[in-house]
Amino acid sequence: MTPLTAEDSCALVIFGASGDLTKRKLVPALWQMFQGRVLPDPFVVIGVSRSEMTNEEFRSRMREAVAEFARVQPASQKVWDRFAQTLLYYSGDPANPALYPGLVEYLARVEQERGTGGNRLFYCATPPSLYPPLVRRLGEAGLNRPPEGSGGVVRIIIEKPFGRDLASARALNQVVASVFSEEQVYRIDHYLGKETVQNVLVFRWANGIFEPLWNRNHVDHVQITVGETIGVEARGAYYEESGALRDMIQNHILQLLCLVAMEPPVTFDADPVRDEKTKVMRAIRPIAPAEVDRVAVRGQYGPGFVAGRRAVGYREEKGVSAESITDTYAALRLEVDNWRWAGVPFFLRTGKRLAKRTSEIAVQFKPTPHLVFQRNPEILAEPNLLVLRIQPDEGMSLSFAAKLPGPDLKIKPVEMDFNYGQAFGGEPPEAYERLLLDAMKGDATLYARGEWVDMAWELLAPVLDAWAVGDATKFPNYEAGTWGPAEAERLIEESGRRWRRP
Ligand code: BG6
């Protein structure tokens, strides 16, 4: 990662500092950036949330968070202490206007003492219902502008979920747009910060040989899978309001689809890249309400075994209703109606408590136009398959047919494989490191634009509407530790294809 310079120095104000995201992702990422010397100097974090805490208490909580969640541990107490000095805490309710006059003063004092200049980065890591009041309060307090005469820049990162349907996303976009200009707003989708996800574009456009094949003439279909073995863990209450379609497809998986389907941008800059993604969204065929059952399948896990261990059903999880019809599995068939992709279906699926933790993009190529070896009926050449493995076992493989050594003509599929760990060594940086760095630099290429988020909700609205109701007796419809409901097989098999078993 290219280190930030003093010009990028900033005060990072995290709202929701006592929450899960700060502990699991944000502070461990900042620590790793600090120890990798990519954070700007000076730099300061002000954690804000309702719990009463001193700076020291906040630091010691964050020390534990780093011990539990960071990739690299502090080499010594001295190194940790240097980082800990950048962590400050300010208690108060972000939704309450009374917090802000004090915060404005405190921030100005800290900026003065630490010499961070006027750059400010706000991070909304609170429960999503607080985003609208929080953004309004920032505006009322004048915190949407840099301090007078500082020449600084103010930016705001908004965590997902960005709304829970089209109407709420539009309303949130409106509030945000009434306080900040679009260039100040960074809507985060952490999948875009993953190395393997960024590599999709490098693979496509830093290599000359694949792009000519990347279209309807050669590609039969695309499968995008994000499988998780975990259940909803402690997030039952959140998940009841969300479900797999909202939680994973509306954001992460549609972003992946855009990266696979988009045209090359003129340059790798925020606007050209995001313009191309928007064009993909525009090309996706809208789902007619009457078609929902044909192109979308939902599922919910019941009890079962995952990796040999007993797992309870979704309805037994904490915070979940015993009659819940929330989807913990969602599969979708989409068509991208443009010159490049017409007639190439994109199959998307995701689920909790599946058989395997695996995220991948599989591009299935068409069979050869004519089978030269057809005189021998035993000879079946499998069409080529390219698999981009997002996680775990990050890498990619291309399968092709080879002659099995021996006197007979027999063909066997073999693989060319690239593995990140082997090729580059070490572990790649966490998605949040890259995304925080980009926001500090003012590079929004890997962030979602407002219109994109809107379009994603709009696309899924008919499915969300249809799934808002359902016959509770039909769930659970898949056992924990399997590949999802049987219905999902029908979704793909009626087109003559099959899901991969990664
Ligand atoms: C989050 C979802 O956005 O992504 C979670 O809310 C999910 O439900 C997580 O588990 C998956 O992220 P990752 O990086 O572990 O694939």
How many whole angstroms from 378 Cα to the centroid of ligand 1? 44
Q: Is 247 in the pocket of ligand 1 (CB under 6 A)?
A: yes
Q: What is the pLDDT of residue 371?
A: 79
Would residue 252 show up in a list of annotated catalytic residues for this protein?
yes
Residue nearest to ligand 1 atom 2, measured at CA: 247
Question: Whole-model pTM?
Answer: 0.95
Q: What is the pLDDT of residue 490?
A: 95
Q: Is 228 in the pocket of ligand 1 (CB under 6 A)?
A: yes
How far is the C-alpha of 177 from the C-alpha of 175, rounded, in Å? Answer: 5
DSSP string, 269-337: SHHHHHHHHHHHHHHBPPPPGGGHHHHEEEE-EESEEETTEEE--GGGSTT--TT----SEEEEEEEB-
How far is the C-alpha of 485 from the C-alpha of 328, rounded, in Å? Answer: 11
Q: What is the pLDDT of residue 372?
A: 81
Show the tokens assigned to 98.
């009374």
Q: Is 159 in the pocket of ligand 1 (CB under 6 A)?
A: no
Q: What is the pLDDT of residue 386?
A: 98
How far is the C-alpha of 439 from the C-alpha of 26, rounded, in Å? Answer: 13
Q: What is the pLDDT of residue 379?
A: 67
How far is the C-alpha of 67 from the C-alpha of 62, rounded, in Å? Answer: 8
CA max distance for the chain: 84
Q: Residue 43: is it exposed, middle or buried by C-beta count within 10 angstroms (0-12/13-18/19+)? A: buried
User: Residue 65: enclosing H or E segment and its boundaries?
Assistant: helix 55-69
Q: Which residues of the chain have pLDDT under 50?
A: none
Buried b (16+ CB within 10 A) or exposed e, 201-217: bebbeeeeeeeeebeee
The closest-lying atom of ligand 1 relative to the alpha carbon of residue 390 is 16
How many whole angstroms from 246 Cα to the centroid of ligand 1? 12
The residue to mutate among 160, 252, 314, having the most atoms of ligand 1 within 8 angstroms of its beta carbon, is: 252
Q: What is the pLDDT of residue 429?
A: 87
How many whole angstroms from 490 Cα to the centroid of ligand 1? 26
Distance in Å from the first CA to the final CA of the chain:
31
pLDDT digits (tens, 9 = 90+) for 412-450: 899 999 999 999 987 888 999 999 999 999 999 999 999
How many whole angstroms from 252 Cα to the centroid of ligand 1? 9
